Amino acid sequence: GAAIVVYSATKFIGGHGNSIGGLIVDGGNFDWESAGSRQPALNTPDPSYHGAVWTQAVKALGPIAYIIKARTTLLRDLGAALSPFNAFLLLQGLETLPLRIERHSENALKVAHFLEARDDIAKLIYPSHQDGYAGDRARKYLKGGFGGLLGFELKAGAEAGRKFIDSLKLLYHVANIGDARTLAIHPASTTHSQLTEHDFVKTGVTAGYVRLSIGIEHIDDILADLTQALDAAK
């Protein structure tokens, strides 16, 4: 497994779009000292901490040099500390994470089936509907559901993508993901708008691509808004 895992707590952990935060989890199972020159930041003197060698400084505590250095230097240099209220909000979100993930996945699968049946959709991107290696891995490992993120490509292209976003009434036009509310974004006219057509191809973003982060609203409300917005974009 992974020795280090990094989470954006802003996404599904918080789950309500009300706090910005991140988490670094050190499994304590990697021998940083043995890594030697491959990890110079941990195995050579740190001039910003009076020449401390992190693997030696915390050796008595176990193989946790990475997380100790991350905690101390990020706190000092960037002020990486949550306010008490933001910490409270993220902990509140964490308590309902399993329930929300079930609903995200359940709703997203229904949205995927809905989009698959429409003739104005050129491509659907969702684990349950992938072929080949990706689909096989998804069905093998994602036993509890395929998550809340999906994408689709509109046959009519960029203008249809913009019109779809502008026509939404329930869904939020937001670049975030993992929210209790359903979010939608058209990258070609927002996050990727400065790219050339050649760059679009390289990044896998097409002119008609739309990304959805499916929330936990009633599925009938989600599908109703998608239906009217897609019809308006034709």
Please state the domain extents for the chain: 4-95, 97-233
CB-based contacts of 191: which residues, under 8 Å, 6+ apart? 175, 185
Residue 196 pLDDT > 90: no
pTM: 0.88
How far apart are alpha carbons 108 and 138 in whole angstroms? 15
Confidence of residue 204 (pLDDT cuts 50, 70, 90): confident
> Both tokens of residue 207?
């002119």
The per-residue pLDDT for 74 is 87
Residue 123 tokens, joined: 């491509």
CB 187 within 8 A of CB 205: yes
* Averaged pLDDT score across all residues of the chain: 95
Whether residue 16 has pLDDT greater than 90: yes
Contact 112, 129 (CB under 8 A): yes
The answer to whether residue 92 scores a pLDDT higher than 90 is yes
Cα separation of 169 and 200, whole Å? 28
Q: What pLDDT sits at residue 232?
A: 97
CATH class held by domain 4-95 = alpha beta
Are 214 and 127 in contact by the 8 Å Cβ rule? The answer is no
167-176, Cβ contacts within 8 angstroms, sequence gap of 24 or more: 167/228, 167/229, 167/232, 167/233, 168/225, 168/229, 169/225, 169/228, 169/229, 170/217, 170/221, 170/222, 170/224, 170/225, 171/212, 171/222, 171/225, 171/226, 171/229, 174/17, 176/10, 176/11, 176/17, 176/213
Give pLDDT, residue 54: 97
Phi-psi region of 26 (alpha: psi -120 to 50; beta: other; left: phi over 0): beta
CATH architecture of the domain with range 97-233: Alpha-Beta Complex (3.90)
Q: Is the pLDDT of residue 1 over 80?
A: no
φ, ψ at 25 (rounded to 5°): -110, 120
Q: Which residues neighbour 42 within 8 Å (Cβ) at sequence distance 6 or greater? A: 32, 33, 35, 53, 54, 55, 65, 66, 69
The pLDDT value given to residue 198: 86
pLDDT over 90 (residue 79): no
